[in-house]
Structure 1
């Protein structure tokens, strides 16, 4: 059977290993498996959300509100913007897909950092677009500017992951705004803020405000998600914020009822639970310092992180070997060999989780 040519060079996104796989393959008891590979919220899911979901189950036979009025209204209040500036997706990566199908084809290209979220490239290849990457693995805006000037006639979308996944570094707000000002207004600049709440809590200079973007730029799409700080990874819900012109264009690609009723209920409820968010931020920052201290004490290089994970870089040891040995102990971390790096990304867990990881790492090192 013949398929589209773009599929020939397309690789699947490598998700973090599920708990069930470790139980099945290594005989580890489920209660002993520790998953710190996918940057899920170690605090779990808000109790308020759990309670609301039980009520929502009674309406599972009904289609969701396709206007998503309540959630858009809540987000518009949070960010002080209009509901017309918001689109809801099944995860923020669905909004990425909308954007690339709206702006790219085989005649143009996207520009990304050397190492960043893999779905930017995968979705771009769906449309036949070229991918230009910086030599630097982390975000270097001078390199972005240089490539943009050289390939200006081709580049139609630029991605800035702030902070960056899977490495953790984060650009300053003032540098981002200065860069966007140098970009042609017909080029869509996508700012992926999946982890921006963590960056903002650590350093206010990293905060990207969607309202600022709307007020200053007509060609920027901001992405947010409920999967990370809000603890709703399993509900698959995210959003995009942009000018009405951009939102109208993306909405033409959205299938009806693309987000489930439970997902809408969960997202709406967790926005009200400020304590859950605050507890998540405090735990993350406090526990991050333990990993940094461990790295310095053991001569490990790490990337200063503004997310809910930290990246350890290895010179002597092999990251694949370390991940495999930890996996057999029931500890799931993210090996970055697939990104061409001898490195491991570790989601920041609860105190007892981090203590277990650091003890196991110490023994291997």
Structure 2
């Protein structure tokens, strides 16, 4: 069936020393799609990848490829029988083999067929003419592309990538990521990418599964994950955040920026209102008389500049608010460095604020 997922991870749980390191994790990936497992170190991302690869065995749940069970509580195909490619941070090229021999390692068929496949892949990763070179003669970016070509050589249905770009120079990383993504999509490969970098996930993924403490806390397209976070920690994982606190009365919360709606929270509930620095609007023109806000901006609040610094593509300004002495950060896409002590009026985009019950 055309709509059948290439990879189906169905409620897998993996346990080490009596502790669940991955618990009830489920997601699907279609041919040509990139699923990113995103989260901090130790959250279960790499273990999930190893279960899919067959390197670790789950205690419950199933892994299927094109509807065929690779592993469950009874079945466990070995890694080499799964049709799965692996790329890790350590490219693990064979130092005693040439580039061409590395790419062709493990391929079956006659020599002419293998040579054609190797030549095709080296051209596609822009390394034509490098076949006779030894791995130590290549740069980090070139070694990464050889590792990619080797992983793609047997035409795997599924590619598993564990922090594959973290060892690359920042100047090379974006280009190599984009080239890799294009090649994998052209091959129709279903990709599971593990990373702890939100920017990398947003750049590469069609779907993101945000993991924490062995479970998926939120799953969806990058735009939705970013703009509708499941909780405060999910919002903070993608960017700096501001947090103001209050108690609900009559489904409303009083703050320096006026009242916020808090539907679904009973009276007396302590809540945290979360918003990003780029959604704080600064009044540049009124000299302390306050801005003329639109309805979605809410009530203006006065803050005193505590610190301002230029970050290369934007300015970050920190304010100490008159209302409660709390700090609010704002970003401006230009050079804007007001002196400490300068009073300015701020508003916050109501449609860019998230209200969460305060966790105890």
Based on CA coordinates, which of the two structures has the bigger radius of gyration? 2
User: Which of the two has greater strand per residue?
Assistant: 2
TM-score by length of 2: 0.28
Larger relative contact order (CA 8 Å, sep ≥ 6): 1
User: Which of the two has greater helix per residue?
Assistant: 1
TM-score by length of 1: 0.28
